[in-house]
Structures are given as structure tokens and as C-alpha cells.
Structure 1
């Protein structure tokens, strides 16, 4: 059996998913879902481009929209992007559904990951920001396959006996919580650096692990910082890039994190490891 598949199944190689896995994903009405920073900005702003300064990264654009239209607008608009239309689950999720990794990190904000684990009990951890009740920037849920429902649980209930789905940037379900604007990321990253972005059990589990980065954009400062905090203690990993040349920041990040860059599309990679 392929060593990558074996490592994913055993938990030695942890899938880390980004927005790029939605490239070419079509909704039933023919529209597309955001698959990079630019397309996310257009989706948040009703298809209209914003100023070059705001188009640099979607968190910056989201912050501008939040300042003008309010926090609730950004929450509802993000939910609308992923919940208002029917679309087929991307091939990456279909592939992972056959492997059922013990631990998956998914920075996307829709519920595709939850769907592929809906046939088994599991834990779901979603990121939250800008709360005053606690230092922790996450919520933990237990999914009961018999009731088909999520129940929020305390962190002492979390175990490694069941699959753990970690969505640090939040999700549409079971509750709408999104890390999307600059203010969200600043708050989340600040607490992450203090050790409050994930439960202690995962901090131990992640030590000396390898990661498989699919659709993650390392050309943007924000997601390099998110990745750095979530994968502290990593041993090595694989990252896919389907373009001619890496930026200097991407190249530096890959080298300092002992990652191997493969110049191939996600679909090519999946087909070679089915």
C-alpha cells in the first residue's frame, strides 16, 4: 500500500486543508465557490473588486466591510457563501472519506469535513475569536452518530479514541463562528501564541508529526502564521504547489519547516494515491 495512505490512516501524516481545494468546485446553479483570497473577497463583496490595498488579502477586505456594515454582516455573508447553494463535496474530501484520518486540520469554513465523518462518532473543534469569557479560542463538540447531532463538551471530555476534526478558522455548523477579518485573526493569533488556540491533548499529539498541506496559500502572511501556530513541533511534511515559481516568502517558509514542495495539482496527487 502507498506509504502516504498508510501514514494518513495511522495518524503519522496529518492532512491540513486550505481554500485551494475548492478550485473548480461548481455549485448547482453554475456559480463557483471561493478558492483563493481574491475570489473570497469578490464573494464577500457581491462580486465587486475592492481597492488594491484591500485586495491584498481577504482578511483585510473583510475588516473593511465589517467596519462599514457591522460584524453581523460579515458573519451572515460568510455563512451565505457556503450555505445558500448546493455544491458537490470537493474531491479532496471524498478521498479523505475513504481514509478517515484520526486527525484533520481544515481551515475552510464550510461543513464538508463534517459531512464525510457523519457516519461515525467524532469530536469537532472550531475556532472562535473576540470573546471575553475565556482565554481559549476554540469550542469542542461531540458528534453522536445515533442522534446525528453535535453537543458542546468541556475539554476534559476530549480523547484520542475518536477522530478529531479541527477547524481553527471556524465553521458554518454546528454554530456560526468565523475567523475571517483582521480583528478576528489578530485576536486568534495573539491567543494562539499564548497557547490558547487548541486543547492540550492536541498539543501533545502534534509533536514530531508530518503534515500534508493541500490547497493552503503560503504566499499570504496570515496563513503562514496560522500554520506555524497549529503545527508547532512538526517533523516534516509535503506541500503541493501547482505553479511555475514560489515566492521568496513561500520558499523560506517551506525550508524552515522542513517541507517538501511538489509541483502538481491536488487532483493529480489524489489520483496517484487512490
Structure 2
């Protein structure tokens, strides 16, 4: 399958975008931290954290939560993610597709901003059990108001790790992820509507890396029982664990830069 076929699948709604923090590299101007290392650096710039965990986002977040309180962690995340990136042409193209599902695994508001001209979409975010014990997800309408659910909406924006807007929900500390990963094999934290819609979809991974256990674990569970096929834009040589993950999940690697793929999907010609 070539890029024109992938574009056609996204336009038809048989393929769904699965976005990672790397998509921020396509945005012009200022952006919030665009990878776990950069986000950890912002969080630990204002709170002293032991050197051995300073560059490990989830461990640093756990230390802040344990010794400075959860509110300090949430405040730090809100400040780090408050920068509003200008949506790239790819964000805007994806937002115009009326796709049934968009998965976004970073905390920024960029995809939400791209969807803002529409009113027929809703967002569902993962919730930290330390703040919302027993409730795994929160639904919001296009204006950011809480919803009980969104069964009739055209597009669902699913942010399994939470997000800055509209309510500062974040899965970021070790304990946040332990709680979810304990249940995710039986799919409890994944909204029923997401499970329903993915059954007819394949996923196109854009701006994602799988060189850490967390993104692999979430991708594996979100993809479970989906129709396929699946594709991942991964220009850099995969690590051993990434290559193994791609093979076991039947994900076809697209060995092109994200910028080139974005240009092609948005209708421009690939550079020679």
C-alpha cells in the first residue's frame, strides 16, 4: 500500500490516525515539550529531583507527586503544556476528515485546536486514579464541557494519557500508569465507544516511537481487535524492541520522514 492508498483510507474512515509527540515537530513557532525527556526537564527545573531519575519522566513525576503533592505535579504539567502550538497543515487535514476516531498520545492541545472549527466531535481522556478513583475516562464536548458519553458524535478524539485542555487530566507518574496497565489487558480503561469504532479500523502511527514499554503497551491494547491494516511512519532505524513490536503487531513501517509523509498526505508531491 502506497501513501495515496493510506490517504484514501484516512479519507474514507477505514484508517484512523494514531498520533504521538513527534507530530509537534511539524508545527511552526513555539510548542510545548515534544518528548518525555524534554517534559521531564521542564518538570524538574522547578522541583529538585534525584539525579538518577531526573531524565525519566514517569519516575520524576512520581517523586514530585510523593514528596511535593499531586497538585504540584498537575501544576507543573499545566505550566509545561500551556504553550499553544499552531496546528500544522497535517493536523488541519486530519481534523477535516470526519474520521470516526483519532488517538492522540501526548498532552498538548494541538489536535483539539485543529478540530475547533467543527462542533460534531467529542474528546475522551484517560483519568488518573489518584484523582478520579474508579473512573477511568472523562468525556468532553467540543467546547470543553463535561459529557456523560458521546455515542452520536462524528469524531472521537481519544487521549489515553490525558491532556492539558480542558481540565488538566494527566497520566504521567509511575503510579498513574501502573493503575491503568493493571487493567488494560482486559480493556477496562479503554472507552466502549473506542472499542466499538476500532473494530472497523486500521491505524496510521504518526510521530510515534515504540522504544519504550509504555507506548508499546498502549498501542498494543488500543489496536486489539481492530480490523487493520496498520502503518507507522518511522524514518529512523528501529531499535531491536521496536522492530520486534512492529513484526508482532503486523505494522508496516513507512521509511520516510514525517515531514515528507505529511506533505504527501496533504496533497503535495514527495520531494525527489
TM-score of the pair, normalised by structure 1: 0.85
Check conservation: 1:41, 1:49, Cα contact below 8 A.
Answer: no
Choose from 254, 260, 263 the match for 1:268.
260
How do residues 153-192 of structure 1 correspond to structure 2 at under 5 angstroms?
Answer: 153-155=147-149, 158-192=150-184
State how far apart, in whole Å, the 1-side matches of 2:131 and 2:108 are.
25
Choose from 96, 102, 124 the match for 2:100.
102
**CA shift in 2, pair 1:210/1:86, >3 Å:** closer
State how far apart, in whole Å, the 2-side matches of 1:132 and 1:36 are.
24
Name the Cα RMSD after superposition: 2.5
CA drift at 1:136: 3.9
CA drift at 1:113: 1.5
Q: Which residue of 2 aligns with 1:67?
A: 66
**CA shift in 2, pair 1:92/1:66, >3 Å:** farther
Name structure 2 gaps, 5 residues minimum: 267-272
**CA shift in 2, pair 1:3/1:93, >3 Å:** same
Question: Cα deviations across residues 120-153 of structure 1 (Å, max 9, x unaligned)?
Answer: 221110110215866441011223xxxxx23322
4+ residue segments displaced more than 4 Å: 24-28, 47-50, 131-134
Check conservation: 2:100, 2:197, Cα contact below 8 A.
Answer: no
CA drift at 1:63: 1.5
How do residues 215-254 of structure 1 correspond to structure 2 at under 5 angstroms?
Answer: 215-234=207-226, 235-243=228-236, 245-254=237-246
State how far apart, in whole Å, the 2-side matches of 1:41 and 1:9 are.
36
**Farther-moved stretch of structure 1 (114-123 vs 212-221):** 114-123
TM-score of the pair, normalised by structure 2: 0.86
How do residues 1-274 of structure 1 correspond to structure 2 at under 5 angstroms?
Answer: 2-23=4-25, 25=27, 27-28=29-30, 33-46=32-45, 51-55=51-55, 57-83=56-82, 85-121=83-119, 122-131=121-130, 135-143=134-142, 149-155=143-149, 158-234=150-226, 235-243=228-236, 245-274=237-266
Name structure 1 gaps, 5 residues minimum: 144-148
State how far apart, in whole Å, the 2-side matches of 1:79 and 1:27 are.
19
Aligned length in residues: 261
CA drift at 1:95: 3.1
SS in 1 for 2:81: helix
